Amino acid sequence: MKLSANDFIQRKGVKPIPMLTAYTCPVARGIEEAGVPVILVGDTVGMVEMGFESTRDVTIEHMEYHIGAVRRGAKDTHIIGDLPYLTDANPEIALASAKRLMAAGADSIKLEGGKLDVIKHLVANGIPVVGHTGLTPQTAESFKKVGNTSEDAQRIIDEAQAIQDAGAFMLVIEHVPATLGLTITQSLRIPTIGIGAGPDCDGQVLVINDAMGLGDYWPPFSKQYAHASRTILKVAREFVSEVETMEFPNNILQFTGTAGKR
């Protein structure tokens, strides 16, 4: 059953919320089958799938394409669509962008930072909004942890409160000290979802490529539950070898009964 914004608010303090990113149909299908209640189609797609140096290269068309693919794989899961860089530059541009992502299949929209006028305008127009504070990659100068000084921590606490007050139903907190993740989580009535924000947030999100061990760099706060890059290497090497020795396709008759099954 697809959860609504209100369902996630009700879940705060009751049951932790697992969230994974997804960008493609088969991955989304597996995530839904595993019972993950919310998928983020993040603009991380630009870095982990498209080979860009920055999420700033992601366009609204890229996001529509990936949200559509994820929706086709996960029909019954709440999908958050990320507004790419500058597509939330002002309330009117943000609303037009958000409508495109909702039409592509998103149930709610995430945007980075304390753009309170934008959040209020989206909410007033019936778009459920997820905030994002702490490290905000679209505008950050580096990917280092933020909120280390008391002034910066207070800035993030104030921003989190303001994002909630503007009408967001959920807040992603990225790469801050665990104590700050706890303080914000305790002070808000909406659920916080941490990524490198300690164990006390109301939920945790991982980029699926990091969780699968797909790629060649994973942030220190992530966990690799598998090593997909190694699997790709193994598959490709075996394939090369078998084609060159003409074992494949002669040997596929040995593998009876697997075609069409996972």
Task: Please report the DSSP string for 194-236 in residue order.
Answer: EESS-TTSSEEEE-HHHHHT-SS---TT---SS-HHHHHHHHH
| Calpha distance 196→132 (Å, rounded) | 13
Closer to ligand KIV by Cβ: residue 81 or 167:
81
Shorter beta-carbon distance to ligand KIV: residue 51 or 260: 51
Exactly one of 174, 242, 244, 247 is catalytic; which is it? 174
Minimum Å distance from CB 116 to ligand KIV? Answer: 19
Distance separating alpha carbons of residues 37 and 84, to the nearest angstrom? 23
Q: Give yes or no: 141 in active site.
A: no
Do residues 147 and 123 touch, judged by C-beta distance below 8 A? no
Question: Is omega for the bond preceding 249 within 30 degrees of 0, making it cis?
Answer: yes
Euclidean distance between CA atoms 55 and 42, whole angstroms? 9
Site string for ligand KIV, 138-177 (x = CB under 6 A): ----------------------------------x-x---
- Residue 73, classed as helix, strand or coil, is helix
CB 24 within 8 A of CB 41: no
Distance CA 72, CA 75 (A): 6
Residue 44, annotated ligand binder? yes
Question: Does position 88 bind ligand KIV by CB under 6 A?
Answer: no
- 7 appears as a binding residue in the annotation: no
Part of the chain binding ligand KIV (CB under 6 A), chosen from 8-16, 39-47, 64-72, 123-131: 39-47
Q: Are strands 170-174 and 192-195 parallel, antiparallel or unpaired?
A: parallel
Stretch that binds ligand KIV, among 28-36, 37-45, 139-147, 157-165 (CB under 6 A): 37-45
What Cα–Cα distance (Å) separates residue 79 from each residue in 102, 182, 219, 254?
9, 25, 23, 41
Any known ligand binding at 159? no
Segment contacting ligand KIV by CB under 6 A, of 1-9, 35-43, 70-78, 222-230: 35-43
- Cβ atoms of 138 and 156 within 8 Å: the answer is no
Q: CA end-to-end span of the chain, whole Å?
A: 23
By CB under 6 A, residue 109 contacts ligand KIV: no
Contacts of ligand KIV in 176-235 (CB under 6 A): 195, 205, 207
- The correct pick among 27, 40, 166, 214 for binding ligand KIV (CB under 6 A) is 40
The binding track of 44-63 with respect to ligand KIV, each residue x by CB under 6 A or -, is x-------------------
Residue 43 marked as a ligand binder: yes
Stretch that binds ligand KIV, among 38-46, 147-155, 227-235, 250-258 (CB under 6 A): 38-46
Query: What residues are designated binding site for Mg(2+)?
Result: 43, 82, 112
Catalytic residues: 174
Binding residues for ligand KIV (CB under 6 A): 21, 40, 42-44, 82, 132, 172, 174, 195, 205, 207
